[in-house]
A and B are shown apart, each in its own frame.
Chain A
Amino acid sequence: MARRSRRAPENEELNITSMMDMMTIILVFLLKSYSTDDITVAGNDDLQLPVSSSLKPPKLAVNVIVSRAQILVDGEPVLALEQVADEASGEMVPAIPADAKTGPKIDDLFEKLQAKAEQAKTLGQRAQSDEFDFKGQILLQCDRRLPFSVVRDVMFTAGQAQFGEFRFVVIKGSG
Protein backbone atom coordinates (compact mmCIF):
# COMPACT_ATOMS: atom_id res chain seq x y z
CA MET A 1 0.00 0.00 0.00
CA ALA A 2 2.75 2.37 0.91
CA ARG A 3 4.62 1.47 -2.25
CA ARG A 4 1.64 2.12 -4.47
CA SER A 5 1.02 5.61 -3.17
CA ARG A 6 4.63 6.52 -3.80
CA ARG A 7 4.41 5.45 -7.42
CA ALA A 8 1.16 7.27 -8.16
CA PRO A 9 2.46 10.85 -8.57
CA GLU A 10 4.99 9.69 -11.15
CA ASN A 11 2.31 8.23 -13.43
CA GLU A 12 -0.21 11.02 -13.09
CA GLU A 13 1.58 13.46 -15.35
CA LEU A 14 -0.69 15.59 -17.56
CA ASN A 15 -0.96 14.24 -21.06
CA ILE A 16 -0.29 17.29 -23.15
CA THR A 17 -0.20 15.60 -26.55
CA SER A 18 -3.94 15.91 -27.23
CA MET A 19 -3.84 19.54 -26.16
CA MET A 20 -0.94 20.08 -28.56
CA ASP A 21 -3.01 18.57 -31.38
CA MET A 22 -5.79 21.02 -30.70
CA MET A 23 -3.46 23.98 -30.43
CA THR A 24 -1.78 23.11 -33.72
CA ILE A 25 -5.13 23.06 -35.49
CA ILE A 26 -6.16 26.36 -33.93
CA LEU A 27 -2.81 27.85 -34.90
CA VAL A 28 -3.24 26.87 -38.55
CA PHE A 29 -6.80 28.20 -38.60
CA LEU A 30 -5.77 31.52 -37.08
CA LEU A 31 -2.84 31.87 -39.43
CA LYS A 32 -5.25 31.39 -42.31
CA SER A 33 -7.47 34.23 -41.17
CA TYR A 34 -4.50 36.47 -40.43
CA SER A 35 -5.17 39.77 -42.12
CA THR A 36 -2.75 42.19 -43.65
CA ASP A 37 -5.46 44.47 -44.99
CA ASP A 38 -5.00 48.19 -44.98
CA ILE A 39 -8.15 48.85 -43.07
CA THR A 40 -9.74 47.12 -40.17
CA VAL A 41 -13.21 47.48 -38.84
CA ALA A 42 -13.97 47.62 -35.18
CA GLY A 43 -17.49 46.37 -35.34
CA ASN A 44 -19.97 47.13 -32.61
CA ASP A 45 -23.70 47.43 -32.22
CA ASP A 46 -23.74 50.98 -33.58
CA LEU A 47 -21.71 50.16 -36.67
CA GLN A 48 -23.02 47.34 -38.81
CA LEU A 49 -21.68 47.55 -42.34
CA PRO A 50 -23.97 46.54 -45.20
CA VAL A 51 -23.29 43.38 -47.18
CA SER A 52 -22.57 43.84 -50.86
CA SER A 53 -21.53 41.82 -53.90
CA SER A 54 -18.72 44.27 -54.70
CA LEU A 55 -15.30 42.65 -55.08
CA LYS A 56 -13.00 45.68 -55.08
CA PRO A 57 -10.31 45.43 -52.40
CA PRO A 58 -10.13 48.35 -49.99
CA LYS A 59 -7.22 50.77 -50.16
CA LEU A 60 -5.91 53.11 -47.54
CA ALA A 61 -7.46 56.57 -47.47
CA VAL A 62 -8.92 59.02 -45.00
CA ASN A 63 -11.31 56.97 -42.96
CA VAL A 64 -14.68 58.38 -41.95
CA ILE A 65 -16.89 56.27 -39.75
CA VAL A 66 -20.55 57.16 -39.40
CA SER A 67 -22.13 54.97 -36.77
CA ARG A 68 -25.56 55.37 -35.27
CA ALA A 69 -24.08 57.31 -32.36
CA GLN A 70 -21.27 59.45 -33.76
CA ILE A 71 -19.01 60.48 -36.61
CA LEU A 72 -15.30 59.63 -36.41
CA VAL A 73 -12.44 60.72 -38.67
CA ASP A 74 -9.43 58.39 -38.57
CA GLY A 75 -10.57 57.08 -35.21
CA GLU A 76 -11.08 60.47 -33.56
CA PRO A 77 -14.63 61.37 -32.55
CA VAL A 78 -15.83 64.50 -34.32
CA LEU A 79 -19.53 64.78 -33.72
CA ALA A 80 -22.16 62.97 -31.69
CA LEU A 81 -25.41 62.25 -33.50
CA GLU A 82 -28.75 62.85 -31.88
CA GLN A 83 -31.67 60.44 -31.91
CA VAL A 84 -34.88 61.80 -33.37
CA ALA A 85 -38.25 60.07 -33.41
CA ASP A 86 -39.48 59.37 -36.92
CA GLU A 87 -42.81 61.10 -37.66
CA ALA A 88 -44.41 58.15 -39.39
CA SER A 89 -43.23 55.13 -37.45
CA GLY A 90 -42.15 56.69 -34.16
CA GLU A 91 -38.84 54.81 -34.27
CA MET A 92 -35.70 56.52 -33.05
CA VAL A 93 -33.60 57.49 -36.05
CA PRO A 94 -30.11 59.02 -35.85
CA ALA A 95 -29.81 62.55 -37.21
CA ILE A 96 -27.20 65.27 -37.32
CA PRO A 97 -27.97 68.01 -34.76
CA ALA A 98 -29.33 71.08 -36.55
CA ASP A 99 -26.97 73.48 -34.74
CA ALA A 100 -23.91 71.48 -35.87
CA LYS A 101 -24.39 72.27 -39.53
CA THR A 102 -24.94 75.15 -41.90
CA GLY A 103 -27.23 73.98 -44.67
CA PRO A 104 -26.16 70.43 -45.45
CA LYS A 105 -22.56 71.14 -44.39
CA ILE A 106 -21.42 69.68 -41.06
CA ASP A 107 -19.06 72.32 -39.66
CA ASP A 108 -16.87 70.23 -37.34
CA LEU A 109 -16.45 67.48 -39.90
CA PHE A 110 -15.63 70.02 -42.61
CA GLU A 111 -12.81 71.56 -40.56
CA LYS A 112 -11.40 68.18 -39.68
CA LEU A 113 -11.51 66.93 -43.26
CA GLN A 114 -10.00 70.11 -44.64
CA ALA A 115 -7.09 69.72 -42.24
CA LYS A 116 -6.69 66.12 -43.43
CA ALA A 117 -6.77 67.26 -47.06
CA GLU A 118 -4.06 69.87 -46.44
CA GLN A 119 -1.98 67.29 -44.60
CA ALA A 120 -2.33 64.81 -47.47
CA LYS A 121 -1.42 67.47 -50.01
CA THR A 122 1.78 68.42 -48.19
CA LEU A 123 2.66 64.77 -47.90
CA GLY A 124 2.03 64.28 -51.62
CA GLN A 125 4.27 67.21 -52.52
CA ARG A 126 7.10 66.04 -50.32
CA ALA A 127 6.90 62.42 -51.44
CA GLN A 128 6.98 63.46 -55.12
CA SER A 129 5.48 60.22 -56.25
CA ASP A 130 2.14 59.53 -57.81
CA GLU A 131 1.31 57.01 -55.17
CA PHE A 132 1.00 59.59 -52.44
CA ASP A 133 -0.63 62.31 -54.50
CA PHE A 134 -3.81 63.73 -53.09
CA LYS A 135 -6.66 62.25 -55.08
CA GLY A 136 -9.49 63.16 -52.74
CA GLN A 137 -10.24 59.59 -51.84
CA ILE A 138 -12.23 58.93 -48.72
CA LEU A 139 -13.34 55.71 -47.11
CA LEU A 140 -16.84 55.83 -45.73
CA GLN A 141 -17.90 53.26 -43.18
CA CYS A 142 -21.56 53.81 -42.52
CA ASP A 143 -24.02 51.83 -40.49
CA ARG A 144 -26.52 50.07 -42.72
CA ARG A 145 -29.54 51.36 -40.81
CA LEU A 146 -28.65 55.04 -41.19
CA PRO A 147 -31.13 57.15 -43.11
CA PHE A 148 -29.71 58.48 -46.36
CA SER A 149 -30.08 62.09 -45.17
CA VAL A 150 -27.18 61.57 -42.73
CA VAL A 151 -24.98 59.90 -45.35
CA ARG A 152 -25.88 62.64 -47.83
CA ASP A 153 -24.81 65.41 -45.48
CA VAL A 154 -21.53 63.60 -44.75
CA MET A 155 -20.92 63.17 -48.48
CA PHE A 156 -21.72 66.81 -49.16
CA THR A 157 -19.33 67.94 -46.42
CA ALA A 158 -16.59 65.68 -47.75
CA GLY A 159 -17.17 67.08 -51.21
CA GLN A 160 -16.78 70.62 -49.88
CA ALA A 161 -13.48 69.59 -48.25
CA GLN A 162 -12.12 68.41 -51.64
CA PHE A 163 -12.84 64.74 -51.10
CA GLY A 164 -14.73 63.73 -54.22
CA GLU A 165 -13.98 60.03 -54.58
CA PHE A 166 -16.07 58.03 -52.18
CA ARG A 167 -15.39 54.48 -51.29
CA PHE A 168 -18.15 52.86 -49.35
CA VAL A 169 -16.78 50.11 -47.17
CA VAL A 170 -18.97 47.03 -47.24
CA ILE A 171 -18.73 43.44 -46.12
CA LYS A 172 -18.03 41.09 -48.96
CA GLY A 173 -20.92 38.70 -49.34
CA SER A 174 -22.60 36.62 -51.98
CA GLY A 175 -24.95 39.54 -52.57
Chain B
Amino acid sequence: MRKARKEYEEQTLDLVPIMNLVTILIPFLLMSAQFVTLAVIDSTLPAIQQESNEPPKEEEEEPLGLSILITDEGFTLTGKGLDAELPKDDEVNGPNVVCLEAGCPTAESYDYDTLRKKLVQVKDRWNDEENAILVPGSKVSYETVVLTMDAAREDPEDVVDESTQKKRELFPFVVIAAGVN
Protein backbone atom coordinates (compact mmCIF):
# COMPACT_ATOMS: atom_id res chain seq x y z
CA MET B 1 0.00 0.00 0.00
CA ARG B 2 2.74 2.38 0.88
CA LYS B 3 4.66 1.50 -2.29
CA ALA B 4 1.69 2.22 -4.53
CA ARG B 5 1.29 5.71 -3.16
CA LYS B 6 4.91 6.49 -3.86
CA GLU B 7 4.56 5.50 -7.54
CA TYR B 8 1.55 7.74 -7.92
CA GLU B 9 3.48 10.69 -6.56
CA GLU B 10 6.30 10.26 -9.05
CA GLN B 11 4.06 10.32 -12.10
CA THR B 12 3.97 14.10 -12.62
CA LEU B 13 4.47 15.37 -16.16
CA ASP B 14 7.88 16.83 -16.77
CA LEU B 15 7.06 20.18 -18.35
CA VAL B 16 10.53 21.66 -18.25
CA PRO B 17 11.49 20.81 -21.88
CA ILE B 18 8.25 22.31 -23.17
CA MET B 19 8.91 25.38 -21.08
CA ASN B 20 12.33 25.66 -22.68
CA LEU B 21 10.83 25.45 -26.13
CA VAL B 22 8.12 27.99 -25.41
CA THR B 23 10.59 30.40 -23.85
CA ILE B 24 12.64 30.33 -27.02
CA LEU B 25 9.56 30.68 -29.23
CA ILE B 26 8.28 33.77 -27.44
CA PRO B 27 11.21 36.13 -28.21
CA PHE B 28 11.20 34.88 -31.78
CA LEU B 29 7.51 35.60 -32.25
CA LEU B 30 7.78 38.91 -30.42
CA MET B 31 10.40 39.94 -32.93
CA SER B 32 8.17 39.34 -35.93
CA ALA B 33 4.93 40.45 -34.31
CA GLN B 34 3.27 43.45 -35.84
CA PHE B 35 1.09 45.55 -33.63
CA VAL B 36 0.12 48.17 -36.19
CA THR B 37 -1.48 47.30 -39.50
CA LEU B 38 -0.28 49.33 -42.42
CA ALA B 39 -2.07 50.55 -45.51
CA VAL B 40 -1.11 52.67 -48.50
CA ILE B 41 -2.66 55.62 -50.31
CA ASP B 42 -2.01 55.66 -54.04
CA SER B 43 -1.20 58.87 -55.80
CA THR B 44 0.50 59.87 -59.02
CA LEU B 45 2.42 62.82 -60.32
CA PRO B 46 0.23 65.23 -62.25
CA ALA B 47 2.54 65.34 -65.28
CA ILE B 48 2.71 61.58 -65.68
CA GLN B 49 -1.01 61.24 -65.37
CA GLN B 50 -1.55 63.65 -68.23
CA GLU B 51 0.81 61.71 -70.46
CA SER B 52 -0.87 58.38 -69.81
CA ASN B 53 -4.36 59.76 -70.26
CA GLU B 54 -6.45 58.27 -73.02
CA PRO B 55 -7.46 60.65 -75.84
CA PRO B 56 -10.21 63.04 -74.78
CA LYS B 57 -13.59 61.44 -75.10
CA GLU B 58 -16.63 63.04 -76.64
CA GLU B 59 -18.41 64.15 -73.54
CA GLU B 60 -21.37 66.40 -73.20
CA GLU B 61 -19.78 68.11 -70.24
CA GLU B 62 -16.37 69.59 -69.71
CA PRO B 63 -14.40 67.84 -66.97
CA LEU B 64 -14.62 69.58 -63.64
CA GLY B 65 -10.94 69.49 -62.74
CA LEU B 66 -11.60 69.77 -59.02
CA SER B 67 -8.77 71.23 -56.99
CA ILE B 68 -8.56 71.40 -53.23
CA LEU B 69 -6.23 74.11 -52.03
CA ILE B 70 -4.93 73.76 -48.48
CA THR B 71 -3.62 76.92 -46.87
CA ASP B 72 -3.25 78.11 -43.30
CA GLU B 73 -6.73 79.59 -43.61
CA GLY B 74 -8.47 76.38 -44.57
CA PHE B 75 -9.57 74.62 -47.74
CA THR B 76 -10.55 76.24 -51.01
CA LEU B 77 -12.32 74.29 -53.71
CA THR B 78 -11.89 75.31 -57.32
CA GLY B 79 -13.06 73.81 -60.58
CA LYS B 80 -14.71 74.68 -63.87
CA GLY B 81 -18.17 76.03 -63.13
CA LEU B 82 -17.86 75.04 -59.49
CA ASP B 83 -18.44 78.51 -58.08
CA ALA B 84 -21.74 78.96 -59.86
CA GLU B 85 -23.12 75.54 -58.95
CA LEU B 86 -22.07 75.16 -55.36
CA PRO B 87 -24.17 76.72 -52.59
CA LYS B 88 -22.18 79.38 -50.81
CA ASP B 89 -21.97 79.48 -47.06
CA ASP B 90 -19.07 81.86 -46.67
CA GLU B 91 -17.96 85.16 -48.12
CA VAL B 92 -17.26 85.10 -51.84
CA ASN B 93 -13.49 85.30 -51.99
CA GLY B 94 -12.65 83.54 -48.75
CA PRO B 95 -11.75 79.87 -48.49
CA ASN B 96 -14.73 77.62 -48.90
CA VAL B 97 -14.01 75.77 -45.68
CA VAL B 98 -12.47 77.82 -42.90
CA CYS B 99 -10.42 76.37 -40.07
CA LEU B 100 -11.93 75.47 -36.73
CA GLU B 101 -9.13 77.38 -35.08
CA ALA B 102 -7.66 80.59 -36.50
CA GLY B 103 -4.47 80.00 -38.48
CA CYS B 104 -4.82 76.19 -38.44
CA PRO B 105 -1.90 75.46 -36.07
CA THR B 106 -2.47 71.69 -35.94
CA ALA B 107 -3.69 69.03 -38.35
CA GLU B 108 -6.81 68.57 -36.25
CA SER B 109 -7.82 72.20 -36.52
CA TYR B 110 -8.84 71.81 -40.16
CA ASP B 111 -12.54 71.25 -40.73
CA TYR B 112 -12.60 67.91 -42.58
CA ASP B 113 -16.29 67.26 -41.93
CA THR B 114 -17.40 70.43 -43.66
CA LEU B 115 -14.96 69.72 -46.49
CA ARG B 116 -16.47 66.26 -46.89
CA LYS B 117 -19.99 67.70 -46.95
CA LYS B 118 -18.95 70.16 -49.66
CA LEU B 119 -17.33 67.36 -51.65
CA VAL B 120 -20.54 65.31 -51.36
CA GLN B 121 -22.38 68.29 -52.87
CA VAL B 122 -19.84 68.41 -55.70
CA LYS B 123 -20.13 64.66 -56.22
CA ASP B 124 -23.93 64.92 -56.34
CA ARG B 125 -23.63 67.44 -59.14
CA TRP B 126 -20.71 65.85 -61.07
CA ASN B 127 -21.33 62.18 -60.52
CA ASP B 128 -18.74 60.84 -62.98
CA GLU B 129 -15.81 62.79 -61.61
CA GLU B 130 -13.31 60.72 -59.68
CA ASN B 131 -10.19 62.86 -59.78
CA ALA B 132 -9.22 65.60 -57.44
CA ILE B 133 -6.05 67.68 -57.38
CA LEU B 134 -4.64 68.50 -54.00
CA VAL B 135 -2.63 71.69 -53.72
CA PRO B 136 -1.16 72.01 -50.22
CA GLY B 137 0.84 74.99 -49.07
CA SER B 138 4.50 74.53 -48.06
CA LYS B 139 3.89 74.77 -44.35
CA VAL B 140 0.91 72.45 -44.25
CA SER B 141 1.83 69.32 -42.32
CA TYR B 142 1.93 65.96 -44.07
CA GLU B 143 -0.72 64.65 -41.70
CA THR B 144 -3.16 67.30 -42.95
CA VAL B 145 -2.54 66.17 -46.53
CA VAL B 146 -3.26 62.55 -45.58
CA LEU B 147 -6.41 63.48 -43.66
CA THR B 148 -7.61 65.58 -46.60
CA MET B 149 -7.09 62.61 -48.92
CA ASP B 150 -9.14 60.54 -46.46
CA ALA B 151 -11.92 63.11 -46.53
CA ALA B 152 -11.89 63.18 -50.33
CA ARG B 153 -11.85 59.40 -50.76
CA GLU B 154 -15.19 58.31 -49.38
CA ASP B 155 -18.20 59.34 -47.37
CA PRO B 156 -18.32 57.20 -44.19
CA GLU B 157 -21.92 58.18 -43.49
CA ASP B 158 -23.20 56.92 -46.84
CA VAL B 159 -22.98 53.11 -46.95
CA VAL B 160 -23.74 51.87 -50.47
CA ASP B 161 -23.47 48.14 -49.82
CA GLU B 162 -24.66 46.89 -46.45
CA SER B 163 -23.07 43.44 -46.75
CA THR B 164 -19.54 44.63 -47.45
CA GLN B 165 -19.88 47.96 -45.61
CA LYS B 166 -18.70 49.68 -48.78
CA LYS B 167 -18.91 53.43 -48.49
CA ARG B 168 -19.83 55.85 -51.22
CA GLU B 169 -16.72 56.88 -53.10
CA LEU B 170 -16.19 60.57 -53.63
CA PHE B 171 -12.89 61.33 -55.33
CA PRO B 172 -10.63 58.30 -54.85
CA PHE B 173 -7.97 59.35 -57.37
CA VAL B 174 -6.07 62.14 -55.73
CA VAL B 175 -3.17 63.82 -57.44
CA ILE B 176 -0.85 65.97 -55.41
CA ALA B 177 0.41 69.15 -56.96
CA ALA B 178 2.48 71.92 -55.50
CA GLY B 179 1.51 75.49 -56.00
CA VAL B 180 0.77 77.92 -53.25
CA ASN B 181 3.28 78.79 -50.61
Is B16 part of the binding interface, using a Cβ–Cβ cutoff of 8 Å?
A: yes
Residues in chain A near residue B138, CB distance under 8 A? 147-149, 152
CB interface residues, B 3-50, toward A, < 8 Å: 15-16, 18-19, 22-23, 25-26, 29-30, 32-45, 47-48
Q: Counting CB contacts under 8 A, is A98 at the interface?
A: no
Whether B176 pairs with A56 at a CB distance below 8 angstroms is no
Residue ID in chain A nearest B142 by CB atoms = A146
Q: Is B36 a contact partner of A58 (Cβ separation < 8 A)?
A: no
Chain B residue nearest in CB terms to A57: B39
Map CB proximity to B onto A136-173 as digits: 1 under 8 Å, 0 otherwise: 10010011111111011001100100001111111110
Q: Contacts A16-B15, A30-B29, A148-B137 given: A168-B38 contact, CB under 8 Å?
A: no
Taken together as a complex, chains A and B put the C-alpha atoms of A152 and B181 apart, in Å, by: 12
Residues 61-81 of B contacting A (Cβ, < 8 Å): none
Nearest residue (CB) in B for A39 is: B38
Check: A92 CB closer than 8 A to any chain B CB.
Answer: no
Q: How many residues on B have C-beta within 8 angstroms of the other chain's C-beta atoms?
A: 47
Given contacts A23-B26, A56-B42, A149-B139, 14 further A-B contacts (CB under 8 A): A16-B16, A19-B19, A34-B33, A52-B147, A52-B149, A54-B149, A58-B38, A143-B142, A145-B142, A147-B141, A148-B140, A165-B43, A170-B146, A175-B156
- Complex A-B, nearest 5 residue pairs according to Cβ-Cβ distance, in ascending order: A35-B34, A30-B29, A144-B143, A164-B48, A149-B138
Chain B interface residues toward A at CB < 8 A: 15-16, 18-19, 22-23, 25-26, 29-30, 32-45, 47-48, 105, 107, 136-147, 149-150, 153-154, 156, 176, 178
Q: List 7 A-B contacts (CB under 8 A).
A: A23-B22, A24-B22, A52-B147, A54-B153, A58-B40, A148-B144, A148-B178
Please give the residue numbers on chain A whose beta carbons come within 8 Å of chain B beta carbons, in ascending order. 16-17, 19-20, 23-24, 26-27, 30-31, 33-35, 37, 39-41, 43, 49-50, 52-59, 86, 89, 104, 136, 139, 142-149, 151-152, 155-156, 159, 164-172, 175
